[in-house]
Structure 1
Amino acid sequence: MTPEAFDKACLALPGATLSIQWGDDHVFKVGGKMFAVRGEGVTLGGGISFKASDVAFEVLTETGRASPAPYLARAKWLHFADLADLDAGEVSDWVKTAHGLIAAKLTKKVKAELGLA
């Protein structure tokens, strides 16, 4: 998957926004809360991280496909070091799930403002 395709998949989700943080990292948010990050700089060094379900976190880390994300492992975030090695459809599904997990925790008011209610 290309960095551009990753950005496009994230921004296609309802209420998703992009901010550049921690140098050059692309941080994707819904309702002001992060659901995915694409590293450009020191923080992720070209990899991606995103929120995962409990099951996906266990399966992908135990099989060695992903590692727990630095600083966010306790919140069940995954890290993939090389975006180019990943299937675009699979990543799009993971990002959609990440978005849904974070959006589900937003207040009713924020969900309504974003058209997620």
Structure 2
Amino acid sequence: MTYDEFNAFCRSLPATTHVVQWGGAHVWKVGGKVFAIGGWDEAGAPAFVFKASDIAYEMLKDRPGLRPAPYFASRGMKWIQHYGKPGLSDRELESYLAESHRLASLGLTKKKRRELGLDQDVR
């Protein structure tokens, strides 16, 4: 996945905002809460960071091309960095990005979710 494809997918999710910060990273938020970051690659290849459920984190953290996200994981947060091959397919990455969006929206107040049109079934 390229950064353009990453940005297009994140833009397609409801109530998202995009900023470029932290040294040029593409940061995507829902209701002010970060759910995805494109950037922080070390070798010039695209790298993507997303929030994961406890189960997904355990399943993904040791897969080739994936690792606990630097900075986030060192603070006990369940975030994964997709940084190399084989990593995830674009379709799998999109699925995890959508789940990260959902997880981040669950951290919003009910009022904020309602204001953003996210009050439908968020389980």
The CA distance in 2 between the partners of 1:61 and 1:47, in whole Å, is 15
- Where relative contact order (Cα < 8 A, 6+ residues apart) is larger, the structure is 1
Give % identity: 41
Q: Report the count of equivalent residues.
A: 114
Report what 1:111 is aligned to: 113
- The TM-score normalised by the length of structure 1 is 0.88
The CA distance in 1 between the partners of 2:85 and 2:22, in whole Å, is 19
What are structure 1's unaligned runs of at least 5 residues?
none
The CA distance in 2 between the partners of 1:85 and 1:63, in whole Å, is 7
Q: Higher helix proportion, which one?
A: 1
RMSD: 1.8
Report what 2:82 is aligned to: 80
Report what 2:94 is aligned to: 92
Alignment of 1:1-117 (within 5 A): 1-39=1-39, 43-45=40-42, 46-73=46-73, 74-82=76-84, 86-117=88-119
Does the aligned pair in 2 maintain the 1:2–1:84 contact within 8 Å? no
The CA distance in 1 between the partners of 2:68 and 2:86, in whole Å, is 19
